[in-house]
Copies of this chain bind each other. A is one copy, B any other.
Amino acid sequence: MALGAAAVSRGRLEAFSDGVFAVAITLLALNLAVAGPGHGSLAHQLSNRWPSFAAYAVSFATIGIIWVNHHALFKTFAGVDRVLVFLNLALLFFVVVIPFATTTMADYLRQGGSDAHLAAAMYGGVYEGTSLAFIALFWYPIRHGLLEQPIPPEAQRAAVVRFCLGSGGYLLVIGVAFVSPLAALALTGLIAIYYVADQTPNPTPAAAEVSG
């Protein structure tokens, strides 16, 4: 069989990815920390920091959903080869940067000014990166016969359209960032909600129905 002895175990790749997702999603909350006693009333500090809370919610939802889709996607793989491992690392490369992008965006959103535009665009750019890596991650196994069940061409095309919509959405976030950073954050939240419905290619319409 083509995936012989040297093929990668799907289980361990998932375990490592889960670890990275879990650490990244938990580190998000580190930026919620307030300055502490002696920096104005706590109520004032908390209300001042609403961009951090909003950004935490949006980024948590997005990492959570990336994880869910990662999981749904990998379940369709019969095996994993070395190329796929590196495509997966490309996805994680951007996931790991999310807490940094989130913190920067929240800090500059609070302050406003032209730096907030750049920070929001960078935030959108990181998600664009995750989105492109994800497309590679679901396209490569289709092309290289790594799936347990082949996906009919029309289902493939539909999945590509759905994913490109999400990916185009993040491009829009980058554009909107230069008009209104807050609108860019809100749009990122909306894209997260869009991905709540399963957008990975499903082998059969029946399965799609169940998971939709």
Copies in the complex: 4
Interface membership of chain A positions 178-212, coded 1 if the CB is closer than 8 angstroms to chain B and 0 otherwise: 00000000000000000010100011101110111
Whether, in the assembled complex, A171 has its beta carbon less than 8 Å from a beta carbon of chain B, the answer is no
**A26 close to B96 (CB less than 8 A):** yes
A115 and B41 form a contact (CB under 8 A): yes
Among residues 1 to 20 in chain A, which have CB atoms less than 8 Å away from a CB atom of chain B? 2-9, 12-16, 18-20
Asked whether A89 is an interface residue with its Cβ less than 8 Å from the other chain, the reply is: yes
Q: Interface size class for chain A?
A: 35 or more
Minimum C-beta distance from A116 to chain B (A): 8
Knowing A19-B18, A20-B25, say if A198 contacts B4 (CB, 8 Å).
Answer: no
Partner of A67, one of B16, B75, B118: B16
